[in-house]
């Protein structure tokens, strides 16, 4: 923990540089090496997909044994599992979605796969299940009934909430990619949907910077919305250069002012006081050599902590006076000059 914040990243954030247009460009770090990098960079937690931990097609006893082996690796390094997320979007059966699919077998698969993820979460020591509804949308609008899709979304959430009375579901919304359009693209959509579940108190939000930008929204506004409802339970900080594909750039390198706005809200409303993590979801640039292919994590954390210092140096009385005067140009100048170190 640094300056009152816990930090996390996922094993996928250190990768070989392969993309849809080219093969790997560097060797992979082993899982143990990635954990050691987390320790060396003074991270506190690890984010997991279910299959980052174990092959989910194994038997229940085998899943439990291998998950306990991973937990020991975490314990030996004083690391915690922040969450487990079922990676359902890569299975051939889910080409048309999981719990919103027109295929009843895919819908059953989604529930059973998620129940396994819940079991894995319990073994590895977290009550947080993150849901990214990657394929819960359409390529062609008439291919699915949008009303039925939302009803199925609620039914799916209820099945998980019923399965484990302690698990918490964190929705990570995104407006598009890989689907052309998502049924539940933003924080507001998901919280409205959550209100229909059997236990809304156990359904919250994980907000990713780039996903909000892709929806044409300000990430800090999304965070403020979730904070107002007491539902900001996780974040994925990164940066994004415009409305294109999900870039997952190093936090703050594209738009430092936008990054500061996020840190400002997190700091003001004491995000992390209930054990929440400052989660990073940032990609290594393809050009990086293996031996430096973790700098994006190091620098994202450094930039966040630098922005914490800037936020803590702001004169809130001055900002409030300028708000009352409606002199927003001066607020812009004041904060921007702080970023520039003036």
Over residues 273-306, the pLDDT tens digits come to: 999 999 999 999 999 999 999 999 999 999 999 9
pLDDT interval class at 208 (50, 70, 90)? very high
φ/ψ bin of 262: left (φ > 0), alpha (ψ from -120 to 50), beta (otherwise)? alpha
Catalytic site positions = 49, 52
Distance CA 321, CA 34 (A): 48
Distance CA 249, CA 173 (A): 18
Residue 41 is predicted with a pLDDT of 98
The CATH code that applies to domain 6-313 is 3.20.20.150
User: pTM score, two decimals?
Assistant: 0.96
pLDDT interval class at 21 (50, 70, 90)? very high
pLDDT interval class at 340 (50, 70, 90)? very high
pLDDT interval class at 27 (50, 70, 90)? very high
Residue 234 is predicted with a pLDDT of 98
Residue 318 is predicted with a pLDDT of 97
Counting residues of the chain whose pLDDT is more than 70, the rounded percentage is: 100
């Amino acid at each position: 923990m640094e300056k009152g914040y816990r930090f996390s990243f996922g094993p996928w954030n250190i990768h070989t540089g392969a993309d849809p247009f080219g093969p790997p460009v560097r060797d992979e770090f082993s899982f143990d090496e990635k954990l050691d990098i987390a320790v060396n960079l003074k991270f506190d937690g690890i984010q997991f997909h279910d299959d980052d931990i174990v092959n989910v097609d194994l038997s229940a006893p085998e899943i439990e044994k291998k998950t306990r082996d991973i937990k020991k690796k975490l314990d030996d390094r004083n690391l915690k599992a922040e969450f487990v997320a079922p990676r359902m979007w890569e299975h051939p059966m889910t080409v048309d979605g999981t719990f919103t699919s027109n295929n009843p077998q895919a819908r059953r698969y989604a529930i059973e796969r998620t129940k396994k993820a819940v079991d894995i979460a319990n073994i590895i020591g977290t009550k947080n299940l993150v849901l990214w509804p990657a394929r819960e949308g359409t390529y062609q609008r008439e291919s699915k009934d949008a009303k039925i899709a939302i009803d199925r979304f609620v039914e799916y959430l209820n099945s998980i909430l019923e399965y484990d009375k302690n698990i918490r579901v964190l929705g990570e919304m995104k407006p598009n990619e890989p689907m052309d359009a998502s049924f539940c693209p933003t924080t507001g959509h998901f919280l409205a949907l959550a209100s229909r579940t059997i236990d809304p108190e156990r359904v919250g939000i994980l907000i990713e910077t780039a996903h909000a930008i892709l929806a044409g929204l300000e990430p800090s506004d999304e965070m403020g919305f979730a904070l107002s409802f007491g539902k900001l339970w996780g974040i994925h900080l990164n940066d994004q250069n415009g409305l294109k594909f999900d870039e997952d750039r190093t936090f703050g390198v594209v738009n430092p002012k936008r990054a500061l706005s996020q840190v400002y809200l997190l700091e003001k409303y004491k995000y992390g006081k209930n054990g929440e993590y400052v989660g990073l979801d940032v990609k290594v640039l393809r050009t990086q050599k293996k031996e430096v292919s973790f700098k994006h994590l190091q620098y994202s954390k450094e930039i966040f902590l630098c922005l914490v210092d800037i936020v803590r140096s702001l004169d809130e009385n001055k900002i409030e006076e300028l708000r009352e005067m409606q002199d927003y140009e001066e607020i812009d100048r004041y904060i921007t000059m702080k970023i520039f170190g003036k």
